[in-house]
Chains A and B, each alone.
Chain A
Amino acid sequence: MDLRRIDDQLWEIPASARADMRVPARVFADREMLDAISDDLSLEQLQNVATLPGIVNAAIAMPDIHQGYGFPVGGLAAFDTAEGVVSPGGVGYDINCGVRLLALPLEAEDLGERSEQLVHEISRSVPAGTHREGALRLRGAKLDRVLQEGPRALLDNGVGLGEDIERTESEGRLDGADPEKVSDRAHERGSGQLGTLGSGNHFLELQRVERVFDERAAASFGLRRGQLTVLIHSGSRGLGHQVCTDYVRRMDRSLERYGIRLPDRQLACAPLSSPGGADYLGAMAAAANFAWANRHTIAHRVRESIGAVLGGAAAKGTRQVYDVAHNVAKTEHYGGRALCVHRKGATRAFPPGSPDIPAEYRETGQPVFIPGSMGTGSYVLAGREGSVERSFGTVCHGAGRLLSRTGARKRIQGAELRRQLESQGITVRCPSNRGLAEEAPFAYKDVDRVVEVVERAGLAGRVARLRPMGVVKG
């Protein structure tokens, strides 16, 4: 493969590498990571993205890139709103899968032996896996209001706080959400799933701030060394999955009408200006709003658990740091041009001064959360100017998978992993040994190196490292 070094952190496959590529494909990585990336089909998938109509500048991948379907995971692409396309497969089935961080008004040493009790209480109050007991059940007009307004629609029911919404990307609501573009089946799948984690790599972690890299930024985010945090990773559940399924099918059938030829059927797309494109954007925005409402409800349950174990003052003092989406398509402006930025396993990371981040963080830059794995740690970053210049305001979304699920299961059994994690002081609540083994820490890349590449590339700066104390998984 013709892979050229642009600088120490950026590599490029030129547009001339394939006759159907319209723009280059670029990867942020160091040399060693690049060798690992080349082991699977992720670079071929990135080149496929570079063939899509109306793509601007380059198809870009972050250092956590790995093989997905259609777009690689850790990939992004921006499309001209007049001439470009929108691709449901480029957003993925878990629309607005994302991460939310809560900071407790306590330090880890204050918790003592109540750590396990708190993890247990959270696992009781937040349904995980296929379980729905305790989910918020909404149908009809009430569900449609959530699809239109996101978490703000839940405040009247006493779920969450207004300040949580202010500290959420896009304030938890994408414009243009249209419940009528969401199928009956998607409505049905979502009706009993608000406040549920789901399965796969979704999780909820109790953590402590292990290290602070940037005291000023950490103080701005309300974080200090030793502090307790809770990280929530979930998405739009069955509702979002069904929206993607419905629109990939629809766009697959309309490709010929628009004269679009693709190297991969999963990249099925439609012009942003077409009825099909507009309908998908309306449905996707509704699913994104549902996902924010889902994480908002989970956070509410976590606060209730904190109240039950640590008392009302601890619950009241638990502050949402921020909430970021990492599977979404959004209209943003770069160089005076409106672009539809697809992020598939990639996180918005706007720099200091951006009007699109909360005023209290505007001097610091947008908070970004990068989960590593349940045995290693996660990062809090702050967006930097380089993200706008080099990656359409985007950084990575995690460590990135290295090993397949079957490969992980071959190397360790769930019961053994559970024992290893608990010997490190990490409480585990996961009903599925199989699911636990698939998410073993060695199945992921080294999150420290991934984040170092992002920082050296000027996309975001390290603020703090979080160490897991307890994990709840489906």
Chain B
Amino acid sequence: MYRWLDHTSEMELAIEEESPEAIFREAAVALGGLLSEGPFGDPVQTEVSVAASDLPGLLVEWLNELVYLAESEGLIPERVVGIDLGDIRVDAVVACRRSEPQNLIKGVTYHRLEMGPAGGGWRARVILDV
């Protein structure tokens, strides 16, 4: 489950899920909701592969790639169809809808970045520059 936390100038995303894969899935859904509320065009599936030096950094790269796809190709992530997640690499198929993003994201930051096990599940926090 995700929620947006109060941040004076940016958007802070908090996610709690049962696994790291579920964190990545939920992050894509949250981002899609922020980028556009529709109207949406045709459904499209796209492959996304990114790498980083650690798992929290991988979450940043994952979101950065989805931001890029939204801005450059008008692909708004709707859900993750398949995901193969390692410690420093993720390969996924993302179901998207075509739409002009209504809100632009400038960048996904490392500031107060969290991604790790917590309370028997997994927790992540990431701040987006909007």
Question: Which residues of A line the B interface, CB within 8 A?
Answer: 40, 42, 66-70, 73, 89, 92-94, 129-131, 185, 188-189, 198-200, 238, 241-242, 244-245, 248-249, 252-253, 264-266, 268, 401-407, 431-432, 434-435, 474
Contacts and interface: CB of A to CB of B under 8 A. Distances in A.
B6 A70 contact: no
B100 A93 contact: no
Contacts of A94: 106, 129
Given A69-B127, A253-B53, A265 B110 contact: yes
A405 B110 CA distance: 20
Interface string B78-117: 0000000000000000000000111110111111110000
Given A264-B112, A407-B6, A130 B100 contact: yes
26 contacts: A66-B9, A68-B9, A89-B111, A94-B129, A129-B104, A130-B104, A131-B100, A188-B72, A189-B71, A199-B130, A200-B106, A238-B71, A238-B72, A241-B107, A241-B129, A245-B108, A248-B109, A248-B110, A249-B57, A249-B61, A252-B110, A265-B111, A268-B110, A404-B7, A405-B9, A435-B102
Given A69-B111, A189-B72, A252-B53, A92 B129 contact: yes
B129 A405 contact: no
Contact of A432 (B4, B9, B102, B107): B102
- Ranked nearest first, the 3 interchain pairs of A and B with the lowest CB-CB distance are A69-B111, A93-B107, A265-B110
A130 B106 contact: no
A434 B100 CA distance: 16
Nearest to A69: B111
A393 to B, nearest CB: 24
Which bracket fits the contact residues of B? 20 to 34
A69 B12 CA distance: 10
A189 B64 CA distance: 13
Contacts of B104: 129-130, 198-200, 474
Contacts of A249: 52, 57, 61
B11 interface: yes
Contact of A435 (B103, B113, B127): B103
B130 A405 contact: yes
Q: Which of A73, A248, A403, A405 has the most CB of B within 10 A?
A: A405
B10 interface: yes
B128 to A, nearest CB: 9
Given A68-B9, A264-B112, A406-B4, A241 B106 contact: yes
Given A68-B10, A199-B103, A252-B57, A266 B111 contact: yes
Contacts of A40: 8
Interface of B: 4, 6-11, 52-53, 57, 61, 64, 68, 71-72, 100-104, 106-113, 127, 129-130
Contact of A264 (B61, B72, B111): B111
A253 B101 CA distance: 31
B9 to A, nearest CB: 5
Contact of A265 (B101, B103, B113): B113
Nearest to B6: A404
A93 B113 contact: no
Nearest to B53: A253
B6 A432 contact: no
A130 B8 contact: no
A130 B102 contact: yes
B8 to A, nearest CB: 4
A42 B10 CA distance: 13
Given A40-B8, A67-B7, A252-B57, A200 B113 contact: no
Q: Which of B108, B111, B113 has the most CB of A within 10 A?
A: B111
Contacts of B101: 130
A48 to B, nearest CB: 10
Contacts of A266: 109-111, 113
B129 A69 contact: yes
B79 to A, nearest CB: 22
Nearest to B57: A252
Contacts of B127: 69
Q: Which of A188, A241, A402, A432 has the most CB of B within 10 A?
A: A241
A245 B4 CA distance: 22
B64 A245 contact: yes
A95 B113 CA distance: 22
Nearest to A246: B64
Contacts of A129: 102, 104
Nearest to A200: B130
Contacts of A406: 4, 6
Given A130-B101, A188-B72, A266-B111, A93 B11 contact: no
Contacts of B61: 249
B7 A89 contact: no
A125 to B, nearest CB: 19
A69 B7 CA distance: 10
Contacts of B107: 93, 241, 244-245, 248
B7 to A, nearest CB: 6
Contacts of A200: 104, 106, 130
Contacts of B113: 265-266
B72 A93 contact: no
A90 to B, nearest CB: 12
A129 B108 CA distance: 19
B87 to A, nearest CB: 15
